[in-house]
Structure 1
Amino acid sequence: MALFGKKKQEKPEEAQREMKEYIKGAGGTIVSKSILEGTSKLKWLFREESEHGNGWIAFGDRDTQEYVNDVKNMTIVDFNTLANIEPTVVNVFYMPIGTDLEFRSDNTGKYFVDTRTGKEIREPVKHPAQIAFEKNLKFLNQETYPSEFFEGLFTKSSQIEVLMAGEADFPTGEVVIADPLAYLGTKYETVLDKRIPAGSYPVELAVCPSTVAGLRIVAARLRVSDKAAVRYEIAMPKGKKIEDLGKPGVWTFFGVDTGLACFADSRAAEANRLFFENWQRENPGKNKYVDYFAALFQKSYENQPKYQNRGVSFLEWQVPKTDHRTVLFSSGMGDGMYSGYWALDAQGEVVSLIAPFMNPEYF
């Protein structure tokens, strides 16, 4: 047959280049057909409030008002389709509703101009969550904050929901604050200088249903007393005092490498270490979270789904075969360095221990 030995003719759709995915889940964008058909080039890009798609609308340089007024000349495509025609649009994808841009291409390069301010946009605009995250990093681990900040974290508002996540047992009163999966019971945990009376105490969480970052735990609080707090101070590690701040080798933060944190008694921390050493021997190659904690977090989610994310938010956990409970909770935006702060009453006694992860004003 004559077909043998000849290259198979490609269908038109097969001849088209493979579309590159610049932004995952970018959503639908309204684009004039002239841009898609190549009879015009991108000229105007603006973003409107929309119940469907991402709100972006693109017009070409040859589109007339009469042309765009005809709905037959407009179509909805994935934003990445437009980006494959003109990749520069990726730079402005995260700009807010109300954005109105003109696309320009000259001997200085390709860029957008904000038609309302005249500002040239030549670099990628960051996602709002990234901007908030960077501001938050600068905000964390200060020596102190205004009392209003701590009090606001645990006051119900349009930004904050406060819930009781469980109780933690402190048989010795020596407090550890650490990542429970990575550092609890190891030399990398942070044992605090102040002690609390032996007992069991509730752990409260301040949850922010953020439109920027999603549902997040912005702070955790170990409530030791119902007395009024009159001042706050950063929690120093064991053997160090406030006066040691700034000295070489003195730090006040605890590290998070699995997205989780907890308050625990030093005895509970040791019990945690011994339990998981034995568990790892009996379960070689298995993962502490995936093969042990995941099912427990899922059950916690099912019991209180309103203020939790599926997978991991918070969990009251008792070390098996002991009476040591700890409360595990996600740490704001995840891994990082965080500090604890003591709330003290008029006599200087501990009222609570607070771990802030996020400033809700940024989110």
Structure 2
Amino acid sequence: MFGFGKKEKKKELKQYITGAGACVVTKSVLNGETGLKWLFRETDGIGNGWVALGESDTQAYVDDAANYAIVDFNTLANIEPAVLNILHMPAGADLEFKPDPSGGYFVDTVNGKEIREPVKAPIQEAFEQNLKYLNKESYPAEELLRYFHGKGDMRIFCMGEADFPSGEIIIADPLVYLGNDKYTEPLNRKIPAGSYPVELAILDSPVAGLRIAAARLKIRETDICRYEIAMPVGTTVAQYNQPGIFAGFGVDAGMACFCDVAAAKEFGEFSDGWHQQNPGKNQYDDYFAQLFRSSYEAYPDVQREDGDFIEWAVPGYGHRIAMFASGLGDGLYTGYWGLDAGEEVTELIIPFMNPDYFS
């Protein structure tokens, strides 16, 4: 069916791109007999779905399967580098190539739009939108409540419990900052001492795959009336964004956690001891990685293969810390208190991803 004709001496190809998948090209274009003219992307097509046709290809020519070849997308890019601009356009794209002194560009045959710059990958576009969505001073209550309604592509999963013997909460990247008082401060509200369930909003996204879109510490069952940004201890919401006041937490290992102040201190002592006993080793690779893999084996339907969450008790102490992946990974994130009609804390939620951008 598809394939090359007689063997010819191949020209050395430039490596414009790797891993872009295979595409279908008419042999007339591949052999330089005609210039590229049409490019469209099929749903469930061969390879990445792109099909390239030549300027002189007749209807009879394109109707004959013997006139096509399956090649790596990089091969097509060697014929016309402008195709790199449209690689990430969605299935259903229908384009016409227009050569010009600049090297050529594409025109969308549906809306007439000229495409002269690289089209962003859906995940990149969604990521940039998501950055603008996060870390706001406030959100309408319904904006954060929707994470745990279990509707659409979102599933709610209770990953376990975390212990709060002091009632003072820290949210942080556990693999980089937890146990270091310089980079982790308790939040400005306390909760009654006790153990509380941790729930994850699992988003099954066609753009980003299986991800944790939000995490919450469920404290009471009363209805939420509003959300309030979680500030550092000793500060108020009125001080949000004032110089020297930092109301979020940084993530550098793709992880976040809900942790009590006492458990954070215990974690620091455990971590120091572990490194002393395991010089030259990496605490994630040589200790935590297996725990996350075991979590995946126990709950494969709600996390990625390397594991996205664990309920972990600090060895030698027993207080549990809830650790979980932070949406798309590293960045800056913020917690929000859910408050009921009596201004009592009902939950603490950390939003990681706006599901609207990843559906």
Superposed CA RMSD: 1.4
Q: Is 2:240 the partner of 1:239?
A: no
Q: Is 2:151 the partner of 1:131?
A: no
- For 2:188, what is the secondary structure of its paired residue? strand
CA distances 1:1-47 after superposition (whole Å, capped 9, x unpaired):
xxxxxxxxxx965x6314525042x2221110111111112111011
1:42 aligns with one of 22, 36, 43: 36
Scaled by the length of structure 2, the TM-score of the pair is 0.95
Q: List aligned pairs for 1:33-72, cutoff 5 A.
A: 33-72=27-66
Q: Which amino acid aligns with 2:149?
A: T
Q: Is the 8 Å Cα contact of residues 44 and 103 (structure 1) preserved in structure 2? A: yes
Inter-partner Cα distance in structure 2 for 1:176 and 1:129: 30
Alpha-carbon distance, 1:85 to partner: 1.7
Q: Is 2:296 the partner of 1:301?
A: yes
Alpha-carbon distance, 1:101 to partner: 0.8
Q: Which amino acid aligns with 2:212?
A: I
**Could you tell me which residue of structure 1 aligns to residue 263 of structure 2?**
268
Compare 74-83 and 326-335 and name the one that shifted more: 74-83
Q: List aligned pairs for 1:1-363, cutoff 5 A.
A: 16-18=11-13, 20=15, 22-24=17-19, 26-186=20-180, 187-363=182-358
Inter-partner Cα distance in structure 2 for 1:107 and 1:212: 36
Q: Which amino acid aligns with 1:149?
A: E
Name structure 1 gaps, 5 residues minimum: 1-10
Compare 59-68 and 268-277 and name the one that shifted more: 59-68
Scaled by the length of structure 1, the TM-score of the pair is 0.94
CA distances 1:243-282 after superposition (whole Å, capped 9, x unpaired):
1113211121100000000010000000010101111111
Alpha-carbon distance, 1:75 to partner: 2.0
Inter-partner Cα distance in structure 1 for 2:184 and 2:34: 61
Alpha-carbon distance, 1:107 to partner: 2.1
- For 1:106, what is the secondary structure of its paired residue? coil
Alpha-carbon distance, 1:176 to partner: 0.4
- For 2:69, what is the secondary structure of its paired residue? strand
Q: Is the 8 Å Cα contact of residues 317 and 326 (structure 1) preserved in structure 2? A: yes
Q: Which amino acid aligns with 1:76?
A: I
Inter-partner Cα distance in structure 1 for 2:115 and 2:290: 47
Inter-partner Cα distance in structure 2 for 1:226 and 1:301: 29
How many residue pairs match? The answer is: 351
Q: Which amino acid aligns with 1:106?
A: D
Alpha-carbon distance, 1:56 to partner: 0.9
Identity %: 55
CA distances 1:178-208 after superposition (whole Å, capped 9, x unpaired):
0000001111113101000000001000010
Alpha-carbon distance, 1:106 to partner: 1.3
Q: Which amino acid aligns with 1:122?
A: R
Q: Which amino acid aligns with 2:115?
A: I
Inter-partner Cα distance in structure 2 for 1:190 and 1:310: 32
Q: Which runs of 4+ in 1 moved over 2 A?
A: none
- For 1:273, what is the secondary structure of its paired residue? helix
- For 2:128, what is the secondary structure of its paired residue? helix
**Could you tell me which residue of structure 1 aligns to residue 4 of structure 2?**
none
Alpha-carbon distance, 1:108 to partner: 3.6
Alpha-carbon distance, 1:84 to partner: 2.0
Q: Is the 8 Å Cα contact of residues 342 and 350 (structure 1) preserved in structure 2? A: yes
Q: Is the 8 Å Cα contact of residues 179 and 189 (structure 1) preserved in structure 2? A: no
Inter-partner Cα distance in structure 2 for 1:94 and 1:75: 21
